[in-house]
Amino acid sequence: MATLCRPAVSVPEHVITMQQTLDLARTIHADHPQLQLALRLMENTGVQKRHLLRPIEETLRHDGFDVRNRIYEAEAKARVPAVINRALEDAELRAADIDVIIYVSCTGFMMPSLTAWLINTMGFRSDTRQVPIAQLGCAAGGAAINRAHDFCTAYPEANALIVACEFCSLCYQPTDLGVGNLLSNGLFGDGLAAAVMRGQGGTGVTLERNGSYLVPDTEDWIAYDVRSTGFHFKLDKRVPATMEPLAPALKDLAGQHGWDASDLDFYIIHAGGPRILDDLSKFLGVPAEAFRFSRATLTEYGNIASAVVLDALRRLFDEGSAHPTARGLLAGFGPGITAEMSLGRWTVSDRASERLGTRVIADVPDRALAEEPTRVG
C-alpha cells in the first residue's frame, strides 16, 4: 500500500506579526465602519505571525494582475525545487523514480503548469504524468494526497510527488473593504510544501481509504471573484460553522473502514481558523490537543492554504510520537464546501527500522533548513 513520506516545507523570509497586521489595519482603514469587528476577527484567529513573499511595503502595493502573476511564476520556479529535493531525499528516491507530479495552487496561474517546467529542469522522466489542480483552494492539499493514493493504488509500484505552492499575499486587494477580505488580510500566509507517496516501502502514513464530501448548496461560501485586478477572496460568515455538517462525513468515512473517528492516534487537519479546530474537537469528541499540529501551523504561519495539511503532517514526523501501526485521519477543507479525507496507519520501513529502531528520530539542524524562512534559488 502507498505510504506518504515526510513533507518538506518552506516559508518566505519576510515576517509580519499579528500586532503589525492590526496596526496596519488601523492606519489603512481608520474610517472603515466595521474596523473594530475586523480587528476582533483577526485577533481571534490565533495567528501570531505570517511569512510573506515580499516586504510589507511591496505587498501593500498593487502593480496589476499581470505583474503579480509574473512574480508568482518567477518565485515558484525559484523556491519549489528546494522543497522537492528535500522531499525526495526524505523519501529516499530520485526525480527519475517519480511517475506522477500532482501540483496544487490557488494563488497564481500558469499554462503550461509548473509541472512541465519541473520535468524539463529537475531530471524527471519525460513520461511523468502531470496533474495540476487549481480550483480546490485549501482543500487541494487533501485532494492531492487522495489523488496520489488513487494513482498508487492503480499502479502499486508507482511513486507520486505532491507539490503545494501558495503565495496568498499576491492576492491582497487594497481596495476591497469587505469584512471577509479584511479578515483574510490577517489570516493567510505564504508557504510551499512537497511530499512523496511511495507505492512500495517508505516511512510515514500508509493510506488505506480516502473519500470526498461536498456540503450541498454552499458553493458560494468560499469563492474567488475574478476581476481585472486579480483574485478577490470572498468568505461567507457561515464558514466557521461548517464542521457541524462535515464532522459526520469524517465519522462515516472512518466507520466504513471499521474505525471510530473519535478514537484515533493522530489527526492532520486543515486549520482554516481556530473555530474549525474547536468545533471538530467537539463534534468528534476528541481533546483539543489532538489538533496540536494544525494549530501550530496556524499560529506560526497562518493559513497557508493547500500547504497546511502537509505542514501539519511534517510536524507529526518531527515530534516523533507516532508509534508503529498508529491510526490517523487526514483532512483538507475548502471551497465547495468540500472535504478531502483519508485514513492511514503509521508505518516504518524495514530499512528505517534497522537504522532507527521503531521511532522516527528528530531532525538534525541542517535538515530543518527546508522549514526555515529563506529564499532558495
pLDDT tens digits along 146-158: 999 999 999 999 9
pLDDT attached to residue 242: 87
pLDDT attached to residue 353: 46
Looking up cell 518538506 gives: 8
Residues 54 and 82 in one domain: yes
Residue 117: give the domain boundaries.
3-198
Cα dihedral 105→106→109→112 (10° resolution): 40
CATH code, domain with 97: 3.40.47.10
* Total count of domains within the chain: 2
Distance CA 336, CA 334 (A): 6
Residues 51 and 154 in one domain: yes
With contact defined as beta carbons under 8 Å apart, do 33 and 69 qualify? no
Is 138 annotated in the active site? yes
User: Of 198, 213, 244, which one is at a domain's C-terminal end?
Assistant: 198
Task: Determine the residue type at 227.
Answer: R
Please write the tens of the pLDDT for every residue from 189-237.
Answer: 999 999 999 999 999 999 999 999 999 999 888 888 888 888 888 878 8
Residues of the chain with pLDDT > 70: what percent?
93
Decide if 374 is inside a domain.
no
Decide if 75 is inside a domain.
yes
Handedness of CA 363, 365, 370, 371 (dihedral sign): positive
Higher-pLDDT residue of 369 and 89 is: 89
Give the cell for residue 203.
Answer: 516511512
Cα of first residue to Cα of last residue in the chain, in angstroms, is 35
Nearest to 302 by CA among 201, 224, 222, 189: 189
> CA-CA distances (angstroms) from residue 236 to 181, 186, 223, 243, 269?
10, 16, 9, 14, 21
User: Of 143, 163, 198, which one is at a domain's C-terminal end?
Assistant: 198
- The answer to whether residue 369 scores a pLDDT higher than 50 is no
Name the catalytic one among 5, 106, 138, 168. 138
Residues 136 and 163 in one domain: yes
Higher-pLDDT residue of 223 and 351 is: 223
Secondary structure letter of residue 11 according to DSSP: B
